[in-house]
Structure 1
Amino acid sequence: MAKVKRGKVVSYNKWGYIFLIPFIVVYLIFQLVPLFRTFYYSFFENYRSGLTQIGPNFVGLQNFITIFKNPDIWIYTENTLIMWIMGFIPQIIVSLVLGAWFSDPSLRLKGQRFFKTVIYLPNLIMAAAFAMLFFTLFSEGGPINEILMQLGWISEPYKFLSNEWSTRSLVAFMNFLMWFGNTTILLMAGMMGIDTSLFEAAEVDGATSTQVFFKITLPLLRPILIYVMITSLIGGLQMFDVPQILTNGTGDPMRSTMTLIMYLNKHLFSKNYGMGGALSVILFIITGLLSLVVFKFSNKKD
């Protein structure tokens, strides 16, 4: 019986693992190790008093107890969530509308590539530059006040940065401008991945465009929507650069724009690494719990 020669089977699996090695090494060194060290240092008293270094001394859960006893943690958590929600709601609405328009072949919109590029451009601008621009535009002697007074809508400059809700609205509006383009691209990619035969069948059955959007598009977009909501929530809880620069790190007026990361930055700036580590762990837990809540509520089956 003649022997059958087997051809050499080429396995590409090893190359996949080889290409993953640089990412794994960088992740271990710069993310995973610092994460565990942060957990470790959160149980120590470690700060600088003048020129004297105090610690590190093991204090157990004392840093966490001190943070939770201070009502500031709840105020800053509320500030962070309010500004995130104020920016996320218009962001998701506008992104859904734009995504539906751009992915609908029946509309035959002209210049789609140009408009897709334009709406994504704000995402490429540094948040620091955005904050400085808005600080100049909405200052008391800025162009916005000049335009409003020339139109006769106000008689004297309005102090945008001295009012609690106007300052929060500016922070939320900047986050909306920077991220709605990225969200639009993600949702549009999800919409273009939906089987077109579903839309054709709905059209044959006489469904309106509104019914198609709410009965077909939105339910099939659920995985992308969950991803967008969770990543946006994580980014919102890590909000720092825009309110930091807009308010010069003070969180004014009346600390209404002070976020959790700005509060953390104050501990790190004062070299209080123990409290900073404890606050980082608390922020990590809050992010995990809220992300789990969003996932559970968004993933319910009808």
Structure 2
Amino acid sequence: MKKKSVNYGKWGYIFILPFFVIYFIFSLIPLFDTVRYSFFEYFRSGIKQIGPNFVGLANYVSLLHSDMLKYGLNTLILWVIGFVPQIVVALVLACWFTDARLKLHGKQFFKVVIYLPNLIMASAFALLFFTMFSTNGPVNSILCSLGWIKEPIDFLGSVLGTRSLVGFMNFLMWFGNTTIMLMAAVMGISMDIFEASDLDGCNSIQRFVYITLPLIRPILSYTLITSIIGGLQMFDVPQILTNGQGNPDRTSMTLIMFLNSHLKSKNYGMAGALSVYLFIISAILCFFVYRMTNDNDPDGSKKAAKKRARAERRKTK
């Protein structure tokens, strides 16, 4: 008699089916609708609904003639202010905590402390900083009581002050998450490599530049790509800190805040076109970052082969 075989492979597909159903209903269909509406004139004027009327690329052209490029530059500046110190501090802390020669105590405690700001909601962070750095806030009160300033500083009334606060908040919220990921990447490097570098007389800077950085490149690439996507989606911190106005003079208005203004005015066509622009920009930036950080020749064999080929061509000439 033949034994009846049980195929368990189908159960895997059954278990993952709910995810794809939910993704299709709540993500994929709205995504296609967003792209479709970007080619239509579709908005509300008072209680009257205009459209949807097909207008082709008119929404895309209108956005190029609007302040979209200015808001894109604002988003880039705010992202750079927050990301550059974030990656520098995260790299330093990751190398410091994972250095076996230092024999640091209480690493788990410091990991928890570093990661704690990441658990706080961005809206709560923004409200806290709005209260602390307002004209009548505790920061100005302390500075005045110490005699360092004579009049309160309007942090939120200056371009430098507002952008610095937004960048500083993004740095505080995300540097802990980046540090934990980079620590995991550094701990994945074999200790034999570091021991061999010590025997060869490498100092700390040489170890970091020639060993640590090349070997954690995949995690650095992931961190940079996710940070770019998060930077393009920057909304809650500047929205709450500037009450949705992007003050002063809209210098802290981001692309998502601009998108939100179209959604509030029920202009779904322009909002859809801006969403498509954001998707294209994200895809292009992530592609370039991946190409720059991806190492297709880790052992240097391809580079050596090219050098040999060039040398042979010179000899034949």
SS at match of 1:145: helix
Return 5+ residue gaps in structure 2 as ranges: 301-317
Which of 24, 28, 48 does residue 24 from structure 2 map onto? 28
Instruction: Name the structure 2 match of 1:38.
Output: 34
**Per-residue deviation, 1:6:** 11
Map 1:1-302 → 2, pairs under 5 A: 13-70=9-66, 72-299=67-294
Tell me, in whole angstroms, the C-alpha distance in 2 between the residues paired with 1:195 and 1:175: 33
Tell me, in whole angstroms, the C-alpha distance in 2 between the residues paired with 1:201 and 1:17: 47
Q: 1:9 to 1:211 in 2, by over 3 A?
A: farther
Q: 1:106 to 1:62 in 2, by over 3 A?
A: same
**Per-residue deviation, 1:258:** 0.1
**Per-residue deviation, 1:164:** 0.3
For the aligned residue pairs, the C-alpha RMSD in angstroms reads 1.8
SS at match of 2:100: coil
Q: 1:57 to 1:150 in 2, by over 3 A?
A: same
**Per-residue deviation, 1:281:** 0.5
Q: Tell me whether 163-172 or 28-37 shows the greater mean CA deviation.
A: 28-37
Q: 1:22 to 1:212 in 2, by over 3 A?
A: same
**Per-residue deviation, 1:13:** 4.3
Return 5+ residue gaps in structure 1 as ranges: none
SS at match of 2:43: strand
**Per-residue deviation, 1:9:** 8.2
**Per-residue deviation, 1:56:** 0.7
Q: 1:207 to 1:50 in 2, by over 3 A?
A: same
Give the count of matched residue pairs.
297
**Per-residue deviation, 1:298:** 2.1
**Per-residue deviation, 1:166:** 1.0
Q: 1:129-167: CA deviations, max 9, x gaps?
A: 000000000000111111111222211000000000110
Runs of 4 or more, structure 1, over 4 Å off, are 5-13
Tell me, in whole angstroms, the C-alpha distance in 2 between the residues paired with 1:6 and 1:161: 79
Tell me, in whole angstroms, the C-alpha distance in 2 between the residues paired with 1:9 and 1:151: 81
Q: 1:203 to 1:19 in 2, by over 3 A?
A: farther
Tell me, in whole angstroms, the C-alpha distance in 2 between the residues paired with 1:47 and 1:224: 43
Q: 1:33-76: CA deviations, max 9, x gaps?
A: 11111001111111000111101111111111111112x00100
Q: 1:198 to 1:8 in 2, by over 3 A?
A: farther
Q: 1:202 to 1:290 in 2, by over 3 A?
A: same
Q: Tell me whether 216-225 or 7-16 shows the greater mean CA deviation.
A: 7-16
TM-score (norm 2): 0.90
The one-letter amino acid of 1:241's match is D
Tell me, in whole angstroms, the C-alpha distance in 1 between the residues paired with 2:214 and 2:42: 50
**Per-residue deviation, 1:17:** 2.9
**Per-residue deviation, 1:10:** 7.6
Q: Tell me whether 240-249 or 25-34 shows the greater mean CA deviation.
A: 25-34
SS at match of 2:253: coil
Tell me, in whole angstroms, the C-alpha distance in 2 between the residues paired with 1:7 and 1:204: 62
